[in-house]
Amino acid sequence: MAFFEQEIHDAPKTFLSKYVFSFDHKVIGKQFLWYGIAFLGLGGMMAMMIRWTLAFPGEAFPIFGHFLFPATNGVVPPDTYAMLFTLHGTIMIFYAITPILIGAFGNFCIPLMIGARDMVFPTLNMLSFWLAVLSAVILVASLFTPLGGAAGGWVSYPTLSTLIGSPGVGQTLWCLAIFVLGVSSTMGAVNYIATIITLRAPGMGYFDMPLTVWGLWLTAVLNALFLPVLGAGVLLLVFDRVFGTTFFLAGAAATSGSGDPVLFQHVFWIFGHPEVYILILPAWGIVSDLLAFFARKPAFGAKATALSMTTITVLSTVVYGHHMYTTQMSPLLTQSFMMLTMTISIPSAIFFANWLGTLWKGSIRFQTPMLFALGVVFVFGLGGLTGLYLATVSTDLYLHDTYFVVGHFHYTMAASVLLGGFAATYFWFPKMFGRMLNETLGKVHFWISMLGLNGVFMGMMIVGYAGMHRRIYNPYVYEFLQKLIPINMFITYSAIFMGFGQLFFVYNFVYSIWKGPKASQNPWEVGTLEWTIPSPAPHYNFDVIPVVKCGPHEMGNPNLKGRDFQYQTEELA
């Protein structure tokens, strides 16, 4: 269905054109993967410092403490603590998860899975990555400004994020970094949408696309629509900070006409709620596919799953008000937002039922990617259901801004997305690097991550329900929180356990790139288009553009002889 011929140029020869300024979607995908993993490590270290402070207030951070905070004998100081949780959020969302799931697997998987030779706009693709690098440079540079990096929380509500609360240039640089990253992601999103619409292989209808592509596509739509909104918001914030406008200033600080700090919250959350789905949709798609691949049967109700994801995409744009119940919007609005938020549980329930339907009477192989995919079902079940408390106006009055919220959104955005990202890494690693990851190390990594993250995030929900609020440096100045010290210590031990568990992954990943056993063309025995070509995927992927004749999950068909799967290029048996 391609609208135009996909030309083949010669493979790049020099190091620069091959590995650095590459137009190749596979190389750009790998670049995003390294970028994301590096920031995942940085954001993870920040999380450790946050956790250490909460469990052992006033004690020096081990090993690095004396080097990083010499003025306080290794103890994380309160202003640094505020910077840490701000940048932990920013980095994990925009610089780790987005690049890994959308940047890396979006770039890598979309052309391969729809049978295209590359993205439709390769130059835009390259530009998207290098703008992301520029954004990262700005963000990291903000840490070395005189008053330190941004410290107003990742939501950076004015007026705390204006000159009233954050006079340092670090906050301005943070805004600029987010703006540049927004431009980069929008470029990527436009590219993904156009590629999926124009470059699907002949014969591939929208419902013949793997659900991974569906997830990435819907994500790209949300990205293209809502990142510009965030960009506009932070740009106005920069105006307030640099040019003396008063979009978000009110009260005594608004010397030349009054704006409204709550306006920023509207702008932020109309982006911010879809952002949650921007992060989780690719993971849903990947999980929907992997469950079918490893249960060796077609994805149960694949069309319904795709349509549910689309419904959620639409609904996600009209529920953002549930982040702002405590700003005292009119009861009419709180009721509408509560009702709309609740309706999201219908499509969610439908694809959960479909996931379990996929497992039903399958022939399940518990290889590492499958373990991670099953892990996503578990943690997203918990994360999604606990959202009900927060969507409800009256329980939110108590739970808003407590650790319950932190636990909830880490279950959905951190645990599910991270496990989904690992599932994808273990699954597509052979096609990316032509080698296999070690299964045993992978399984050890899974169980440590799974136990660790449940300890961390379940613990957070517990301390949140007990009343511990967010973003406090030392909870124990409050008498009613002192009983939570042992639970907070448990969360921190779990976090350390989980952190060390990631070393299994890092070792496995780095070792296997060079020394892992060579991967066959189709190690998982599945039929989507990327497995019809050699591993690693060759220059321009497909010699001949494939013609698609059946759906992506045709497995377990009793008419098949000798194998239980068929390629999408084969006539339905």
DSSP, residue by residue, 103-128: IIIIHHHHHHHHT-SS-S-HHHHHHH
Contact between 66 and other proteins by CB under 8 A: the answer reads no
Three-state DSSP class for 518?
strand
Contact between 465 and other proteins by CB under 8 A: the answer reads yes
Q: How far is the CB of 193 from other proteins (least distance, A)?
A: 27
Contact between 386 and other proteins by CB under 8 A: the answer reads yes
Which of 97, 302, 319, 453 binds other proteins (CB under 8 A)? It is 302
Contact between 346 and other proteins by CB under 8 A: the answer reads yes
Which of 331, 515, 561, 571 binds other proteins (CB under 8 A)? It is 331
Give the binding-site size for other proteins (rule: CB under 8 A): 108
Alpha-carbon span 90 to 451, nearest angstrom: 25
Which of 361, 503, 518, 572 binds other proteins (CB under 8 A)? It is 361
Q: How far is the CB of 410 from other proteins (least distance, A)?
A: 17
Q: How buried is residue 56: exposed, middle or buried, by Cβ count under 10 Å (0-12/13-18/19+)?
A: middle
DSSP, residue by residue, 474-502: -GGGSGGGGGGHHHHHHHHHHHHHHHHHH
Both structure tokens of 494: 């779990």
Site for other proteins in 104-163 (CB under 8 A): 151-153, 157-160
Alpha-carbon span 150 to 161, nearest angstrom: 8
Q: Give the interface segment with other proteins, choosing from 25-33, 44-52, 197-205, 364-372 (CB under 8 A).
A: 364-372
Contact between 297 and other proteins by CB under 8 A: the answer reads yes
Given the complex with other proteins, which of 103 and 168 has the nearer CB atom? 168
Q: How far is the CB of 366 from other proteins (least distance, A)?
A: 7
Q: How far is the CB of 167 from other proteins (least distance, A)?
A: 11
Give me the 169-198 binding string for other proteins, x by CB under 8 A, dash otherwise: ------------------------------
- Cis before 159? omega within 30: yes
Contact between 475 and other proteins by CB under 8 A: the answer reads yes
Q: How far is the CB of 326 from other proteins (least distance, A)?
A: 5
Contacts of 291 (CB under 8 A, 6+ apart): 299, 355, 358, 359, 370, 373, 374, 377
The answer to whether the CB of 57 falls within 8 A of the CB of 474 is yes
Which of 479, 514, 562, 571 binds other proteins (CB under 8 A)? It is 479
Contact between 263 and other proteins by CB under 8 A: the answer reads no
Given the complex with other proteins, which of 260 and 439 has the nearer CB atom? 260
Given the complex with other proteins, which of 60 and 160 has the nearer CB atom? 160
Q: Which helix (H) or strand (E) holds 306?
A: helix 302-315
Q: Which helix (H) or strand (E) holds 315?
A: helix 302-315
- DSSP label at residue 327: G
Contact between 354 and other proteins by CB under 8 A: the answer reads yes
Contact between 556 and other proteins by CB under 8 A: the answer reads yes
Which of 19, 34, 144, 398 binds other proteins (CB under 8 A)? It is 398
Which of 485, 496, 513, 545 binds other proteins (CB under 8 A)? It is 485
Contact between 389 and other proteins by CB under 8 A: the answer reads yes
Mapping DSSP onto H, E and C, the string for 122-138 reads: HHHHHHHHHHHHHHHHH
Contact between 360 and other proteins by CB under 8 A: the answer reads yes
Given the complex with other proteins, which of 388 and 510 has the nearer CB atom? 388
Site for other proteins in 365-384 (CB under 8 A): 365-366, 374, 377-378, 381-382
Contact between 345 and other proteins by CB under 8 A: the answer reads yes
Alpha-carbon span 30 to 211, nearest angstrom: 21
Q: How buried is residue 511: exposed, middle or buried, by Cβ count under 10 Å (0-12/13-18/19+)?
A: middle
Give me the 444-463 binding string for other proteins, x by CB under 8 A, dash otherwise: ------------------x-
Given the complex with other proteins, which of 225 and 353 has the nearer CB atom? 353
Given the complex with other proteins, which of 218 and 292 has the nearer CB atom? 292
- Cα distances from 286 to residues 109, 114, 156, 293, 333, in angstroms, run 10, 15, 32, 10, 35
Alpha-carbon span 444 to 460, nearest angstrom: 24
Given the complex with other proteins, which of 127 and 466 has the nearer CB atom? 466
Q: Which helix (H) or strand (E) holds 45?
A: helix 25-55
Q: How far is the CB of 156 from other proteins (least distance, A)?
A: 10
Contact between 500 and other proteins by CB under 8 A: the answer reads no
Contacts of 566 (CB under 8 A, 6+ apart): 527, 550, 554, 555, 557, 560, 572, 573
> Which residue type does 236 have?
L
- Cis before 261? omega within 30: no
Contact between 443 and other proteins by CB under 8 A: the answer reads no
**Pick from 393, 278, 271, 260: nearest CA to 324:** 393
Alpha-carbon span 105 to 315, nearest angstrom: 25
Q: Give the interface segment with other proteins, choosing from 20-28, 231-239, 259-267, 537-545 (CB under 8 A).
A: 259-267
The residue whose two tokens read 């553009």 is 545
Contact between 478 and other proteins by CB under 8 A: the answer reads yes
Both structure tokens of 559: 């008419």
Which of 101, 484, 533, 537 binds other proteins (CB under 8 A)? It is 484
Given the complex with other proteins, which of 127 and 359 has the nearer CB atom? 359
Q: How far is the CB of 354 from other proteins (least distance, A)?
A: 6
Site for other proteins in 219-258 (CB under 8 A): 249-254, 258
Given the complex with other proteins, which of 116 and 382 has the nearer CB atom? 382
CA 67, 68, 71, 72 torsion-angle sign = negative
Alpha-carbon span 107 to 99, nearest angstrom: 10
Q: Give the interface segment with other proteins, choosing from 13-21, 197-205, 212-220, 326-334 (CB under 8 A).
A: 326-334
Contact between 436 and other proteins by CB under 8 A: the answer reads no
Given the complex with other proteins, which of 213 and 253 has the nearer CB atom? 253
